Amino acid sequence: MEAVSDSPLLRAARGESVSRTPVWFMRQAGRSLPEYLALREGVAMLDACMDPALVTEITLQPVRRYGVDAAIFFSDIVLPLKAVGVDLDIKPGVGPVVASPVRTLADVAAIPDLDPSHVPFITEAVRTLVGELGSTPLIGFAGAPFTVASYLVEGGPSKDQARTKAMMFGAPEVWDALMRKIAGISAAYLEVQVAAGASAVQLFDSWAGALTPTDYATHVMPHSAAVLERAGRLGVPRIHFGVGTSNLLTLMGEAGADVVGVDWRTPLADAIERVGDRAVQGNLDPALVFAPTEVMLQRAAEVIEAGRYARGHIFNLGHGVIPSTDPDQLARLTDFVHTYEPRG
């Protein structure tokens, strides 16, 4: 059996030659697979994330169904906060909701640091998964400091990040303390997953696209870099993905990414120029799975062709799988990527 370290995904992440373009899908297990929906029926999101048996089964489902080149650990970006005792919940149709939003230095100081004793269920689930996955790598997962801070400051999802930016600009000492706190929690969460056997990690920044490059570089990048630097000490490839971050791709790479995730709004060829000598991940529009199959596959071919000019390319959608996606379309897409023959 092939060693995990020789898997196409890890080779591509390191910029080494691959026999085929590796592929996985963000949110590949969640929301669209009928077997996932059946398993989650009546089970709250955070409860599912803290049940090792459920985490294991949910993480494995898309690997079984699609034959993708990696499993992404089933979790949520606010799970580590819940684990250390922050009063929050994930409301269906809304997202994470925090009972007492962070406003002051005292609020930040009240948040405990995370250590492995807070998340024994994570260690158990990862160890079980690594045993089940064999030569297929498991990607560990954590939320980036800006996005997690946004939920804590806003008290829930926000389209404009107004309270978050108000703290960033108006109370920089509180902002810096909060970002340091979250960076420590996110890094520790990734360390737990890698210690248990995860062989790559992804830092996910849902809301970073709300920032200008200057504000990102000044107020956010140092803290994401701190997470990625700690992950880098573990010797695993680091994927850094944000949504709407076309103007931040260079900085997100410089923060310490081995692989820069690219959403569908940025042509992959443009992204490759911006990230420099790094691998890229992406970036088919998630809505293209609703197009006729031949259209979806033609556009996928264009992504693969563009990716040939990067240091390494991991095929993915440009964001998460849309809940109403037909799983059979993702199966066709996976097969196409795996069997694609370069032109000429």
User: Would you say 41 and 8 are in contact if contact means Cβ atoms under 8 Å apart?
Assistant: no
Assign 313 a pLDDT band (cuts: 50, 70, 90): very high
Pull the structure tokens for residue 236: 């695993």
- Which residues are known catalytic residues? 27, 31, 40, 76, 151
Residue 235 has pLDDT above 80, yes or no: yes
Question: Which residues, in sequence order, are bridge partners of residue 282?
Answer: 315
Average the pLDDT over 331-343 and give the result: 93
User: Would you say 305 and 270 are in contact if contact means Cβ atoms under 8 Å apart?
Assistant: no
Alpha-carbon 169 to chain mean position: 27
Average the pLDDT over 129-135 and give the result: 97
Q: Which of 304, 250, 306, 246 is nearest to 277 (CA)?
A: 250
Q: What is the pLDDT of residues 9-56, one digit of tens each?
A: 999 999 999 999 999 999 887 778 999 999 999 999 999 999 999 999
Q: Which of 27, 7, 1, 30 is nearest to 19 (CA)?
A: 7
User: Read out DSSP for 134-172?
Assistant: TTSPEEEEEE-HHHHHHHHHHSS--SS-HHHHHHHHH-H
User: Would you say 324 and 32 are in contact if contact means Cβ atoms under 8 Å apart?
Assistant: yes
> At a CB cut-off of 8 Å and minimum separation 6, what does 329 contact?
289, 290, 293, 296
Mean of the per-residue pLDDT values of the chain: 96
Residue with tokens 């992440």: 13
Distance CA 128, CA 111 (A): 30
Assign 342 a pLDDT band (cuts: 50, 70, 90): confident
> At a CB cut-off of 8 Å and minimum separation 6, what does 215 contact?
165, 168
Pull the structure tokens for residue 59: 């993480």
Distance CA 61, CA 36 (A): 7
Q: DSSP character for 247?
A: G
- Give the predicted TM-score (pTM) of the model: 0.97
User: Would you say 95 and 156 are in contact if contact means Cβ atoms under 8 Å apart?
Assistant: yes
Q: Which of 142, 138, 114 is nearest to 128 (CA)?
A: 138
Average the pLDDT over 64-88 and give the result: 96
Model pLDDT, residue 239? 98
Residue 92 has pLDDT above 90, yes or no: no
Q: What is the pLDDT of residues 170-208, one digit of tens each?
A: 999 999 999 999 999 999 999 999 999 999 999 999 999
Model pLDDT, residue 1? 63
Assign 343 a pLDDT band (cuts: 50, 70, 90): low
User: Read out DSSP for 44-79?
Assistant: -HHHHHT-HHHHHHHHHHHHHHH--S-EEP---TTH
Assign 344 a pLDDT band (cuts: 50, 70, 90): low
Residue 2 has pLDDT above 80, yes or no: no
Pull the structure tokens for residue 4: 């995990």
Average the pLDDT over 294-321 and give the result: 97
